[in-house]
Structure 1
């Protein structure tokens, strides 16, 4: 079995409103040293006979929006 992790985040030039909300909440809780927070998603995929090329195709077709998001694939075996 092959296991992969796909990390999807907004492109740096875009405003991350969820990250901003978390940043503001952390500041209100006294964590003043926090400078920036970016929120993304982690997708874990297990496949019987998968490979990184298939995961790449999944990202391009469904898991990430290439217009506004970046993604990074890691093997998790």
Structure 2
């Protein structure tokens, strides 16, 4: 099994009202050094089988057609190692 991570963020030229709201709240909580906040979304997909170029291409197609809106969002896809369950103690 392989885990693919799709990170989706608004394009830089797109207004991000959620990010601006967080940016406005941070100083009230004592975090006054933050200059900008952009809020996005993250998807983790566990796919049967070992990671392959074809599966990576399929996940990219999922990101482009369903998980993001390419008109206003950028996305990136990566493969992450799955932690093994249990230990040899």
What's the TM-score bracket when you normalise by the shorter of the two chains?
A: over 0.9
Shift of 1:68: 0.2
SS, match of residue 23 in structure 1: helix
Residue 68, structure 1, aligned to residue 67, structure 2: no
SS, match of residue 26 in structure 2: helix
Q: Which residue of 1 aligns with 2:45?
A: 45
Once the two structures are superposed, the pairs formed by residues 1-77 of structure 1 within 5 Å of their partners are 1-49=1-49, 51-77=55-81
CA distance in 2 between counterparts of 1:33 and 1:61 reads: 37
SS, match of residue 43 in structure 1: strand
- What's the C-alpha RMSD, in Å, of the aligned pairs? 1.0
CA distance in 1 between counterparts of 2:30 and 2:47 reads: 43
- Identify, as 1 or 2, the structure richer in strand: 1
Which range moved further: 39-48 or 25-34? 25-34
The number of equivalent residue pairs is: 77
Unaligned runs of 5+ in 1: none
Instruction: Provide Cα deviations, 1:16-64, integer angstroms capped at 9, x if missing partner.
Output: 1000011111011121111000100010000113611010110111001
CA distance in 1 between counterparts of 2:61 and 2:21 reads: 32
Moved over 6 A (4+): none
Structure whose CA Rg is larger: 2
